[in-house]
Structure 1
Amino acid sequence: MKRNIVFFLTSVFICLSVACYDDKGSYDYKDVNEVEVDGLGTSYNLIFKKDTLKITPELKFTQDSLNLDRYGYEWIVVSGISGSEETREVIGTERNLKYFVELEPGTYTLYLKVRDKQTGLLWMNYTSLTVRTEVGLGWLLIGEDAEGYVNVDMIAMPNDTIVINNLLSNNGLPRLKGPKSIMYTGSPYASYLAPYEKLWIATEDRSYYVNTSTFEGELTNVFEMMVYSYLDIPEQLNPVHLLSQRTGGSMNTSRSVACAEGFVFNISSLLSGGDYANPLNRTADAPEKLFKAYPYIFASLGYVSGGVLYDTDNGRFLRFTSSGSTSTALLDNSGEAFPWIQPEGRTLVYGENTMDTEGGSRGNSFTLMKDAGTGKYFIYKFYAYGSSAQKRAGYEVKSSLATDIDKAEFYAFASNRSLLLYVVGKTLYAYDYKVGYEKLYSMDLPDEVSMMKFDVKSGYGDYNDLYIATYNSTTGGTLQKYVLGTDQNKFELKPDERCYWTGLVKVKDMEWKNSAQ
């Protein structure tokens, strides 16, 4: 490949020649040390934030004896075919290129410019470069990197499964601390909703949305910029849970957002605009009085239509519809499985949406409750449907069986078994709460657990896949998929040998991403 272009800066060269050589009556012409630039290759196809581009060019000089330190090098990418200055980026200034690909996915022309710093002469050659994303499908993992900062890895599934690390590195945001959750709101099935896709990076203090393909973000990408309310709300809002997707990854046209500060917001339809009005954590009979909501929205994952909130100030459950602007308190009748309005001292410890379908619903929700006075625990199962939330069952946890449940760091409710899983140290417990058949199972885990979560989002399998993330200083973060056995009379949790990854962040949360981008 010989596509050399030589730019002779004629006037500059003449001036330099006059300055460098004395006129003695007979002219002593010096030959220019010309450069032939070759060996760039014909084209490159690279994965964004996965591949490193390495090129060792072949440079031939007509006067090899000259000092080669006089030459400068620039590797320049130009987006598309526009060639405008705004689309140019220098990705290297050494003779040999070694570049970790952080260019936004697209098509580029890559130039190598070799300049004689003494004469100003320039030689150049080029090749083509395509950057593609492999972050459309797979599991996003948020956690702490080796330096203790927030970062995101991905178990990506373009064809074969690959691991892409450090997706937040050099993304335009400051280095964050305290990873909390990661939330994706896109869908491959509804292209008309693409403008409303968001990928949220949530920390203990602040949340930002980033580009769904490049993970680039800005300090202005915050939730309060989307809120227009006449009520007294905080200057900063930290969204930590979103209600936007059905199982399988399809996106709902409505959107509900729970913030760490106890505020919940709703959009009835994204098609009518992307701004949030007054919060849902209030009732129609007292619209100016805001209660603090538990930062999780209970809803049916099979078909999202409104949901249920928990009022931590008054110990009660309330429902809201997808088109509602306030919440409605749920009332109790005698003889029911559990109370919507909690007795004095009973608080919510943990809650989770599952694909349990008892009662004909498309996904029931669970909460674990605790009485402060007695220390007893209770499990509530209900259908969190916005227009008619329904109680399914209530259970009292047998304290004599549920070893160290008060010390648990992580919980998970199974969709197809009457099991509450919880972790204490390196021990995983599985408590079967079925009345009359209560049992406790346990198994040892290899390392400190940093996350435990059932897959109820991807739409693959039968909701028996449990992901457990662990961490140690040697292997870093690990993620292992286990398959929960379906025999109701025993506890089997088998590791899937094909689904084990190491060298990850210390995983705090995971989110399924199913996108065309």
Structure 2
Amino acid sequence: MNTHHYKSILLSFFFACLLTACMKDKGNYNYTPINRVTIQGVDSAYLLDYGTRLQIKPVLKFSEDTHEDTANYTYTWVADHLVGYTMAPTIISTARNLDTTITLDYGLYAMYYRVTDKRTGVFTDSYFTLNVGAPSYEGWMMLCDMENGNSRLDMISHRGNSDTLYPDILKEVHSAYKTTGTPSFIATQFAYLGGPTNGSLGIFVATSKNAVLLGLDSLDYVPAYDLKNFMSVSEPITDWTGADINLRMYGGLLYVNKNIYAIGFSSITNPINTQDGGTALFNASRWVGQNPSSGAAIIFNDDSKTFLRYPGSGTTCLTLPNGDLFNFSTGMDLLYATFVPYNSGEVFAVLKSHATGKLFLARFTVAGKQNYFAEITGENIAGAETFAVSPELGYLFYNAGGKLYEYDHAAKHSILMHDYGNRKISLLKFQPFASTYATASNAVYYTTLSKKLLVGTYVQGQPENSGILDMYTVPDINAQLQLYRSYTGTGKIACIAYRER
């Protein structure tokens, strides 16, 4: 076949196709509109306690059906996933209206309600969130002194955007734990000790009678949760009067009966209050300055009035190198000490001279580098009762009676920040938080709270419900404290911690 003839065939085929394409399509195209469902009456968010009843009655509208024939539709209520995690969706109901007892695990869920037209397979979703919790799920936990030899655990429950005070939270959630004895400590931190701590945030509570771990969500308790069960001491501790605890991620230091025990990954060791590898135990101070990152700490030998360094592991404390500003063998009483991230990490210690009665402030690193030592010349400092240090600005706060002061160690003067009059101050604290790392869901909120000064006050003789927890923003340049939040009706707050999520 020659080339000219081949091209003629191709042109003929092209024009035939073009003619066919231009011919009128005589097919039948009568379209039937698809029935569309509109869902109303489902809120964007729901908050309820575990094991309680959730009722939702949606209002459905249809673009084509004049009335709802339930035989033509399927209905599905789905827990799609726990926010921040991946999981297989869980169908919690297939009823048109939701009326069921929620037994999902504690947490915030992404949910949806789906209505499907069985005739076409077309479905419509309505999305919402469901926060399954309990009054004890998140918030401030306050161990209160009832002034009758016993304690009470109060809680300011933080749920959504609201805070609710529950005096005696253990009674509210039907916990078996009884706070008999005077308050010793309450603290929270991620732990692997066992019992209810399985890598999650553990709740440590101690009164003079016992020390325990509480269940993570509903504060449940069984005797196996007693802290003595995780200790390697030969004789179980029965007197926890004045005990204290410094926790860090999966570890910390426990003070009880003038001894200090290291909290390891899965157990609590024998006492570490020996010096330079010796075997003799010295009487340790309750005031410990531990770097939460390294685990290294400053421990005070109350017998020799000497600061020592605990390296973060092992069973002994070490002598610190000679200092440039003061002698680590101080010869003074230690009134208060804490580690703060201020100035890249320092221990602040308040000391009192036997000879003169004067108070001194020492600032130094856990490695022993001394940065500051001078007499505290603040107003009413001789009558100071409790102390706290701003982790951000390094101001020292103290109270004398109902007067609250801020001490600027650089300017060497104090400023009266608030006079509570006849109200007694039972607590000063800046609360450290575990979940402030960048990927934590509540990092910004917890970082904000960690910078607030907590002040607990009460009326003497009324320890049950006269308590107030004030939270203050601490400005720089010695400006007056700014009230951030205030909660009334607590007990006399002896110690406080925050149950994070």
TM-score (norm: length of structure 1): 0.62
Secondary structure of the residue that 2:229 maps to in structure 1? helix
Q: Aligned pair 1:504/2:495, yes or no? A: no
Secondary structure of the residue that 1:460 maps to in structure 2? helix
1:463 shift after superposition: 5.2
1:378 shift after superposition: 0.7
> In the alignment, which residue of structure 2 is the partner of 1:320?
310
> In the alignment, which residue of structure 2 is the partner of 1:422?
398
Letter in 1 for 2:418: M
> In the alignment, which residue of structure 1 is the partner of 2:262?
266
> In the alignment, which residue of structure 1 is the partner of 2:328?
340
Letter in 2 for 1:323: S
- Structure 1 gaps, min length 5: 1-43, 54-100, 108-129, 246-251
**What is the CA–CA distance in structure 2 between the aligned matches of 1:160 and 1:147, rounded to whole Å?**
35
Letter in 2 for 1:316: T
RMSD (Å) for aligned C-alpha atoms = 3.6
**What is the CA–CA distance in structure 1 between the aligned matches of 2:202 and 2:231, rounded to whole Å?**
16
> In the alignment, which residue of structure 2 is the partner of 1:225?
229
For the 8 Å contact 1:267–1:323, the answer to whether it is kept is no
Alpha carbons of structure 1 residues 349 and 147: separation in structure 2 relative to 1, 3 Å: closer
> In the alignment, which residue of structure 1 is the partner of 2:274?
282
**What is the CA–CA distance in structure 2 between the aligned matches of 1:157 and 1:449, rounded to whole Å?**
24
**What is the CA–CA distance in structure 1 between the aligned matches of 2:246 and 2:431, rounded to whole Å?**
16
Alignment of 1:187-198 (within 5 A): 194-195=198-199, 197-198=201-202
For the 8 Å contact 1:155–1:161, the answer to whether it is kept is no
> In the alignment, which residue of structure 2 is the partner of 1:294?
285
Letter in 1 for 2:259: F
For the 8 Å contact 1:331–1:341, the answer to whether it is kept is no
> In the alignment, which residue of structure 1 is the partner of 2:352?
370
Alignment of 1:81-480 (within 5 A): 132-144=133-145, 149-165=150-166, 166-169=168-171, 170-186=174-190, 194-195=198-199, 197-229=201-233, 240-245=243-248, 252-253=249-250, 255-268=251-264, 270=265, 274-287=266-279, 289-301=280-292, 303-333=293-323, 336-343=324-331, 346-357=332-343, 361=344, 363-384=345-366, 388-398=367-377, 402-434=378-410, 437-445=412-420, 447-457=423-433, 459-461=446-448, 464-472=451-459, 473=462, 476-480=466-470
Letter in 2 for 1:430: E
> In the alignment, which residue of structure 1 is the partner of 2:41?
none
For the 8 Å contact 1:200–1:210, the answer to whether it is kept is yes
TM-score (norm: length of structure 2): 0.64
Alpha carbons of structure 1 residues 464 and 216: separation in structure 2 relative to 1, 3 Å: closer
> In the alignment, which residue of structure 1 is the partner of 2:35?
none
1:105 shift after superposition: 7.1
Alpha carbons of structure 1 residues 238 and 375: separation in structure 2 relative to 1, 3 Å: closer
* Structure 1 consecutive aligned stretches of length 4 or more whose deviation exceeds 6 Å: 103-107
**What is the CA–CA distance in structure 2 between the aligned matches of 1:326 and 1:432, rounded to whole Å?**
35
1:267 shift after superposition: 4.4
Secondary structure of the residue that 1:342 maps to in structure 2? coil
For the 8 Å contact 1:379–1:396, the answer to whether it is kept is yes
**What is the CA–CA distance in structure 2 between the aligned matches of 1:420 and 1:285, rounded to whole Å?**
35
1:285 shift after superposition: 3.5
1:433 shift after superposition: 2.3
The 10-residue stretch of structure 1 (506-515 or 133-142) with the greater mean CA deviation from structure 2: 133-142
Secondary structure of the residue that 1:194 maps to in structure 2? coil
Structure with the greater alpha carbon radius of gyration? 2
Letter in 2 for 1:47: D
Secondary structure of the residue that 1:224 maps to in structure 2? helix
1:348 shift after superposition: 0.2
1:349 shift after superposition: 0.8
Secondary structure of the residue that 1:510 maps to in structure 2? strand
1:275 shift after superposition: 2.3
> In the alignment, which residue of structure 1 is the partner of 2:113?
none
**What is the CA–CA distance in structure 1 between the aligned matches of 2:267 and 2:465, rounded to whole Å?**
43
Alpha carbons of structure 1 residues 172 and 355: separation in structure 2 relative to 1, 3 Å: same
Alpha carbons of structure 1 residues 374 and 483: separation in structure 2 relative to 1, 3 Å: same
> In the alignment, which residue of structure 1 is the partner of 2:12?
none
Secondary structure of the residue that 1:305 maps to in structure 2? coil
For the 8 Å contact 2:208–2:239, the answer to whether it is kept is no
Higher relative contact order (CA 8 A, sep 6+): 1
**What is the CA–CA distance in structure 1 between the aligned matches of 2:408 and 2:154, rounded to whole Å?**
34
**What is the CA–CA distance in structure 2 between the aligned matches of 1:156 and 1:405, rounded to whole Å?**
35
Alpha carbons of structure 1 residues 211 and 227: separation in structure 2 relative to 1, 3 Å: same
Secondary structure of the residue that 1:406 maps to in structure 2? helix
For the 8 Å contact 1:207–1:239, the answer to whether it is kept is no
Q: Aligned pair 1:492/2:480, yes or no? A: yes
Q: Deviations over 1:337-358 (max 9, x none)?
A: 2221113xx110111222312x
For the 8 Å contact 1:224–1:237, the answer to whether it is kept is no
For the 8 Å contact 1:242–1:256, the answer to whether it is kept is yes
1:445 shift after superposition: 1.9
Letter in 2 for 1:414: S
**What is the CA–CA distance in structure 2 between the aligned matches of 1:242 and 1:104, rounded to whole Å?**
34
